[in-house]
Homo-oligomer: A and B are copies of this chain.
């Protein structure tokens, strides 16, 4: 950490400041220049509150050199973390295939989709019961009833399930859920993250709509600091000025997060674009970039022929894209999909 001292600071103030820094057990290196005086703080600075230091009246600015996350940092944990979810593993070199509908609508629907995606090679079933919607007038999900339908589909197919938790009072309902999803809009709901850190289930943490990778890793750090190290990172598109796609898939986040952290990284190409036609090329791209898994929306509702989620694939298209993705994965990384 580098602290830039205000031009007009007195030596006495600087000395008091260096004394005060002693509490953190850091070495302090002083560089006096013509324009600026700089302090280099050497040691473990992850627990230093940069905002507090920036607030000192003799400080002009603070620049972190070391990343502010520690448990999530590959520098201190070089081995890949492998997260066990039900009977499957994420981050072990295989390609995890998460699939299912955006919203759970009926028990029949979720079981039908679950069977179809299992047949196409999916290893984890997704389905939304509690739905965060930007309008209070939009469908908010079936809630606890939907969760029961999802668990029926789990029982029926044997697929482990992942679904979103929207607030910490819902936790008791999630006992049979295998992987708890934190949605993009809750990525910085810190009280929720703390609570998830104190329970043992693995967590799928979605990147916020305009969050940086560092903020995503700091949110993972919240969970890990509580004792739960079973975190899966999910890139699902960020907000940009581009209007032709709903979000912009940050494909660079895949190799970059894997370099910065030991946690597994999965990609959700369905939410990233909001357009079903773009899901197959982006799913293939995510695999080619080294993602540990894919989370894809698949819908099947022959009774309501008119209506199909704009970002959902039919089971037939899903089967094809899953096959292409396995092919790319095998070609590049030479491993069978679990």
- Show the binding face of A for B, using Cβ within 8 Å: 2, 4, 13, 16-17, 20, 27, 29, 31-36, 38, 40, 42-44, 46-47, 49, 51-52, 54-58, 61, 63, 65-66, 68, 75, 132-140, 166-169, 185-186, 188-192, 194, 209-215, 218, 221-222, 225-226, 238-245, 248-256, 259-260, 272-273, 275, 277-278, 281-282, 284-290, 305-310, 312, 324, 327-328, 331-332
Could you tell me if B212 and A243 are in contact, using CB atoms closer than 8 angstroms?
A: yes
- The residues of B that contact A222 with a CB separation of less than 8 Å are 136
User: Roughly how many angstroms separate A219 CA and B273 CA in the complex, as a whole number?
Assistant: 23
In the assembly, how many copies of this chain are there?
A: 4
Looking at the complex, which one of B2, B185, B255, B273 makes contact with A282 (CB distance below 8 Å)? Answer: B255
Q: How far is the CA of A181 from the CA of B17 in the complex (A)?
A: 35
B256→A245 contact, CB < 8 A: yes
Q: How far is the CB of A287 from chain B (nearest CB, A)?
A: 7
Q: Are B188 and A282 in contact (CB under 8 A)?
A: no
CB–CB B189/A51 < 8 A: no
The CA-CA distance from A281 to B308 in the complex, in Å, is 33
> With A55-B309, A242-B253 given, can you name 18 additional A-B contacts, CB distance below 8 Å?
A2-B2, A31-B42, A36-B42, A38-B40, A46-B137, A47-B137, A132-B188, A134-B218, A135-B218, A166-B190, A166-B191, A212-B241, A240-B248, A245-B252, A252-B272, A252-B282, A254-B281, A288-B328
